[in-house]
Structure 1
């Protein structure tokens, strides 16, 4: 069981108090986009083995969305940050690089 800390309200709880919302930092495409762009946005998602950036919602707490860096193999959580952030914070990226030197970087 994962213990997650919500960066919005600061509560640490079991993962069952949160809802996973899929991949983070997606470029959204809507009206005016090509069919290929919209199809890629709707259906193409990364499913990496290793570091992954995800959206989570504190469903049974403050109800806010946030983003998190997590290792899909070890389930290690590198950090969480507010959903309005466009790129992962430098301290989380540094922590990932220190623990996973083979990591090729964000994106």
Structure 2
């Protein structure tokens, strides 16, 4: 990869997660690779190429922190997951008040 500003800092990943979720309905989820593609695209990479894969470790770290902070939840096929396990979807945290 030739993009000097990749991989992105985790703040970029955190912002990308929140922006992508804001564009979706309340219960919609996103894929971690969507976050990486968004970051790669902003950095000037072609999102149809594999450049986004270099950003995945940063995305995963941001997701882990956001789960710990209670900002997002992970699930797979509708089943809640306490942490990343490879296949997962990211959604807004929904707390029972």
When normalised by structure 2's length, the TM-score is 0.26
Q: Which has the higher contact order (CA 8 A, sep 6+)?
A: 2
Larger Rg: 1
Question: Which has the larger share of strand?
Answer: 1
TM-score (norm 1): 0.24
